[in-house]
């Protein structure tokens, strides 16, 4: 009985010490939010919204099949840039790459200062023909209705191109003279990998010996009700992005008539391989960008959430379990496995000889494409299945520190124009042109000054893409303020 009391006492003391440790960490989990005075946004020009609408009317679609590329539309966008922004076209050095990507160079007065590079892309994803009837307005008419502007590219990413150009044109009209040089790079094929746009512009800058103070591309936004546990708006700045790999799987097995099937068909083998991959995903992990997100957002959360984030090192199994329970959370903690194409068979009474499938992986930082390929080979473990890389492959980007002064410039600019938001680094789960600028700067960030919520979030690459007109005006004010703060 005495021994039992001692064991019980040890358990109680251990529990008390554990709770005390959790509470100590929680109460010492200090806020990382900056205190910044708000500024009055610069008013946009009277023609800005019409320019945006005109840009949306141009069908700069990046098709999967290059034979469907409509060069006339991209030439029309070239004309739009030169005619809408004559000061930028005449006063800045303006180069085109592969006919349709644009690089503007605004020379500063102090050659000792590293330049900044602002990125955006002018191409958009296609609109699925059979879904046209579900659009409330035509996707390529740049319709302005009350407080909203509609059309493919409003979010992704003509708001960036037009927002930057409107900011530059307005600064030029006011005879603004920057100390720091600036580049504005607009790719025309970001949606299909950026090979002819961002890749060639980044290579050119590298050949010119350009080392940038920082690079800023799309990726993060101001979220409204999208961060679990938070009622406040949260501005997310991407400090890294996941890698990209598609694997094409194939199998060939004797077919025949469907009335006499063998024990296994090509479809059986391929379906089994896909099932194995889905049942055996790559492992979960709390990466550096996610740790930083917790450090920035955790202190602002309700007490219980704050306590978990404050003790992430010892409560990581709890955190991983919570993140794993949702699609968006799962994408933050593991390399995702997404079968996207499955092909086999031509007739209902013929057993096909072959089956093929494409599986897309979005790869966590600190993981490589070779790690993913080895995982797939080990999980499928079937020599009959061939595995080949898809055409576009991208390793996860390098990580840029949120503690750097360059991050703080962006952070400060956000708070000056969005004074009631919280700011946090995070991991971008999609792909951007920024990945191609790894050799240009150690400080590559991803943020667009627009607001996403549950109402318009799914319109990104989907139906009824749109943003509030005020968001477009905010983007112009943001780029003007960012340019000034960078100088």
Query: How far apart are the C-alpha atoms of 100 and 269, rounded to whole Å?
Result: 45
φ/ψ of residue 185, rounded to 5: -115, 120
Query: How far apart are the C-alpha atoms of 396 and 164, rounded to whole Å?
Result: 27
Catalytic residue among 156, 169, 190, 474: 190
CB atoms within 10 A of CB 150: 22
Q: Do 225 and 452 touch, CB atoms closer than 8 A?
A: no
Helix H, strand E, coil C: the string for 143-179 is CEECCEEECCCCCCCHHHHHHHHHHHHHHHHCCCCCC
Give yes or no for a cis peptide into 262 (omega within 30° of 0). no
Residues pairing with 374 in the sheet: none
φ/ψ of residue 263, rounded to 5: -65, -30
DSSP three-state, residue 356: strand
CA–CA–CA angle 253, 258, 259 (5° rounding): 130
Question: Is 370 annotated as catalytic?
Answer: no
* Radius of gyration of the chain, Cα coordinates, nearest whole angstrom: 26
Nearest to 465 by CA among 455, 456, 453: 456
Question: Is 324 annotated as catalytic?
Answer: no
Nearest to 212 by CA among 119, 109, 122: 119
Q: Using CA atoms in the order 159, 163, 164, 167, what is the torsion angle rounded to 10 degrees?
A: 180
Nearest to 235 by CA among 45, 41, 469, 422: 422
CB environment 112-149: b (16+ within 10 A), e (fewer): eebbbbbbbbbbbbebeeeeeeebebebbebbbeeebb
End-to-end CA distance of the chain: 75
Q: Which residues contact 74 (CB under 8 A, 6 or more apart)?
A: 60, 99, 100, 122, 123, 188
CA separation, residue 122 to residues 101, 133, 186, 263, 477 (Å):
8, 25, 6, 52, 20
Q: Which residues contact 27 (CB under 8 A, 6 or more apart)?
A: none
Residues pairing with 193 in the sheet: none
Please classify residue 186 by burial: count the beta carbons closer than 10 Å to its beta carbon, then call 0-12 exposed, 13-18 middle and 19+ buried. Answer: buried
Catalytic residue among 123, 241, 300, 465: 123
Residues in the chain: 487
Q: Give catalytic residues, as residue numbers.
A: 123, 190
């Amino acid at each position: 009985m005495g021994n039992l009391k001692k064991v019980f006492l040890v358990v109680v003391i251990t529990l008390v010490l554990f709770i005390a440790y959790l509470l100590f960490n929680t109460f010492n989990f200090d806020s990382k939010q900056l205190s910044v005075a708000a500024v009055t946004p610069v008013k946009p020009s009277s023609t800005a919204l019409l320019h945006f609408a005109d840009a949306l009317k141009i069908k700069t679609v990046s098709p999967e099949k290059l034979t469907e590329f409509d060069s006339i539309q991209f030439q029309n966008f070239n004309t739009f840039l030169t005619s809408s922004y004559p000061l930028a076209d005449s006063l800045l050095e303006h180069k085109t790459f592969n006919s349709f990507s644009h690089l503007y160079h605004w020379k500063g007065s102090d050659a000792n200062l590293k330049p900044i590079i602002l990125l955006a892309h002018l191409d958009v994803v296609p609109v699925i023909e059979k879904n046209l009837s579900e659009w409330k307005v035509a996707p390529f008419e740049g319709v302005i209705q009350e407080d909203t502007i509609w059309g493919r590219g409003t979010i992704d990413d003509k708001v960036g191109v037009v927002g930057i150009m409107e900011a530059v044109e307005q600064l030029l009209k006011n005879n603004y003279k920057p100390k720091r040089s600036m580049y504005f790079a607009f790719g025309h094929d970001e949606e299909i990998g950026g090979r002819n746009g961002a890749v060639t512009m980044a290579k050119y800058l590298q050949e010119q010996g350009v080392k940038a103070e920082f690079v800023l591309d799309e990726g993060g936004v101001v979220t409204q009700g999208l961060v679990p546990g938070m009622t406040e708006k949260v501005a997310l700045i991407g400090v890294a992005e996941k890698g990209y790999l598609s694997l094409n799987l194939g199998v060939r097995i004797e077919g025949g008539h469907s009335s006499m099937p063998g024990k296994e068909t090509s479809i059986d083998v391929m379906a089994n391989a896909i099932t194995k991959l889905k049942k055996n995903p790559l492992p979960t992990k709390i990466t550096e960008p996610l740790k930083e997100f917790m450090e920035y957002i955790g202190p602002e959360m309700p007490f219980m959430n704050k306590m978990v984030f404050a003790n992430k090192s010892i409560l990581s199994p709890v955190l991983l379990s919570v993140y794993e329970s949702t699609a968006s959370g799962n994408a933050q903690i593991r390399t995702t496995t997404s079968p996207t194409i499955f092909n086999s068979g031509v007739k209902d009474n013929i057993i096909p000889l072959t089956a093929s499938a494409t599986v897309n992986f979005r790869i966590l930082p600190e993981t490589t494409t070779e790690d993913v390929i080895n995982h797939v080979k080990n999980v499928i473990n079937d020599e009959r299945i061939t595995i080949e890389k898809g055409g576009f492959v991208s390793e996860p980007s390098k990580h840029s520190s949120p503690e750097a002064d360059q991050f703080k410039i962006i952070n400060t600019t956000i708070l000056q124009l969005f004074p009631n938001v919280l700011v946090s680094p995070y991991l971008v789960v999609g792909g951007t042109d920024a990945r191609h600028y790894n050799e240009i700067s150690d400080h590559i960030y991803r943020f667009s000054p627009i607001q996403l919520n549950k109402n318009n979030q799914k319109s990104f690459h989907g139906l009824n893409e749109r943003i509030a007109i005020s968001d477009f005006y905010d983007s112009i004010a943001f780029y003007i303020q960012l340019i000034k703060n960078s100088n």
